[in-house]
Each structure stands twice: as C-alpha cells, then as structure tokens.
C-alpha cells in the first residue's frame, strides 16, 4: 500500500449504490419496448464496457439511437431506480473520509441525467466535489480519460488518488490513469480480480485503510 492519496474517486453502480438490478432491468425493458430483442440483465451488464447508455442501446437495437429511445430509457430507469439505496456502510464511510480531509469524486460510465438523478435521490450527492459521467468523455473505461478528468476537477494528480470500483474494468482504468486501484467486493463480486492492489470487503475497510492516526489528509 503506497502512501500519499489525497482523493478517493468511486464508481457508482455496484460500488456506491445497489443498482445492479434496477439499471440492467431498465435497459432490458427499454430495448424490448423500442423494438429490440428480449435480453437478460446479465447480457446488459456484459455490454456496459461499450460506453454510455446510447452506445449500449445501439448495440442491442442494431441501429442509431433516437431521442425517443433515450427518453424511454430514462422513464424506465427512474421507475426502477426509485428503490435504489447506498450499500450498507457507504454513507458512514463517505462521512469518515470527508472528515479526514479527502477530496471525494465519482467517475461512472452512466450518463449524467441518470447518474445525478440517482445520486440526488439516494441523498449522497453532497459528499462529492465532482461527478464525471460517461457522456463527459469520448473513451469509456478502461481508458483513463474520465478518471483523469475527475482528478483535474479535484485538483489532484492521479498518483495521489485511489479509484474504487467493483468491476475489473474499473481497476484497469485506475492503473491506466496511474491511480491506486481498489476492488470493492461489498456489492456481491465473488472474487477479487487477479492483481488487484487493494481489496475492500466492506466500506469500513476503506476507513481502516485511509483514516489512521498520523495519516489524516489536509482539508479541502
């Protein structure tokens, strides 16, 4: 474990929020409603690496995505995400990191309308100084663009940042950017990807890792 982190950036779905049922279901309903095939939520998750929501929809619909397609997705997502909640322990972890002086951000592949809506609805938006979304960048994870943009917004170097995510693509993104990769297993990931620098089994593990006597960070 290296020292020097001043910021912690988080993935959203499956890391901060338990949306790993609601979000794929919203995609599946949208794809079917807009004339596409019947797809299982697991098939949607497997396609998330393609980019933000329009890219995933286009993949399954087999055509360019229209404004009506996008609106349909948001209607389904808002319905499905109404029951989304932070994982147990996430709010306390964010409070502890904030009190310790860490700069906190989010980098998610979700589009801004969906991401900011669910962050606000779950009451945790105020913890983050920046939220970078899939439609803010041209290259999706594991490209480092979004994480580096979040670091610029937080006024820190990537080398001073930890990126916390539940998927191997998040860890590859962190390494590509030069940040510390932290695998969040509390969302249900069965095993840690090979080579993960840090494995957190529960949100409190991040507090144990970063908030220790003599290593408190400067206030933002």
CB 33 within 8 Å of CB 75: no
For the chain, list the domains and their CATH numbers: 7-18+85-210 (3.40.50.1000), 22-81 (1.10.150)
Whole-angstrom Cα distance, residue 213 to residue 191?
30
CB 27 within 8 Å of CB 57: yes
* pLDDT on residue 191: 63
* pLDDT on residue 207: 96
Full-model pTM:
0.85
* pLDDT on residue 218: 42
Q: Is 181 helix (H, G, I), strand (E, B) or coil?
A: strand
Which candidate, 112, 143, 163, places its Cα nearest to that of 49? 143
* pLDDT on residue 217: 46
Whole-angstrom Cα distance, residue 86 to residue 10?
13
DSSP state of 144: S
**Residues designated catalytic:** 11
106's tokens: 């989010």
Whole-angstrom Cα distance, residue 5 to residue 85?
27
135-141 CB contacts, 8 Å cutoff, 24+ apart: 135/52, 135/111, 136/112, 140/49, 140/50, 140/51, 140/52, 140/55, 140/109, 141/49, 141/109, 141/169, 141/170, 141/172, 141/173
CB 186 within 8 Å of CB 206: no
- Residue 30 makes CB contacts below 8 A (sequence gap 6+) with 57, 69, 72, 73, 76
Q: List, for the chain, all residue ranges whose pLDDT scores fall below the cut of 50.
A: 1-3, 214, 216-220
* pLDDT on residue 190: 55
């Amino acid at each position: 474990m290296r020292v020097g982190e001043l910021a912690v950036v988080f993935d959203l779905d499956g890391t901060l929020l338990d949306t790993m049922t609601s979000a794929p279901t919203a995609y599946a309903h949208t794809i079917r409603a807009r004339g596409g095939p019947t797809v299982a939520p697991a098939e949607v998750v497997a396609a998330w690496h393609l980019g933000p929501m329009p890219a995933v929809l286009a993949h399954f619909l087999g055509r360019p995505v229209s404004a009506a397609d996008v609106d349909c997705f948001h209607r389904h997502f808002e319905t499905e995400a109404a029951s989304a909640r932070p994982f147990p322990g996430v709010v306390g972890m964010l409070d502890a990191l904030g009190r310790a002086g860490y700069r906190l951000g989010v980098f998610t592949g979700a589009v801004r309308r969906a991401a900011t809506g669910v962050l606000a609805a779950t009451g945790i938006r105020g913890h983050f100084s920046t939220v970078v979304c899939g439609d803010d960048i041209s290259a999706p994870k594991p490209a480092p663009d979004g994480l580096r943009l979040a670091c610029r917004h937080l006024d820190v170097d990537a080398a001073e940042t930890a990126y916390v995510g539940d998927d191997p693509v998040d860890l590859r993104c962190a390494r590509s950017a030069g940040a510390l990769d932290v695998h969040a297993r509390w969302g249900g990931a069965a095993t840690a990807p090979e080579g993960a620098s840090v494995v957190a089994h529960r949100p409190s593990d991040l507090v144990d890792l970063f908030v220790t006597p003599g290593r408190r960070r400067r206030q933002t």
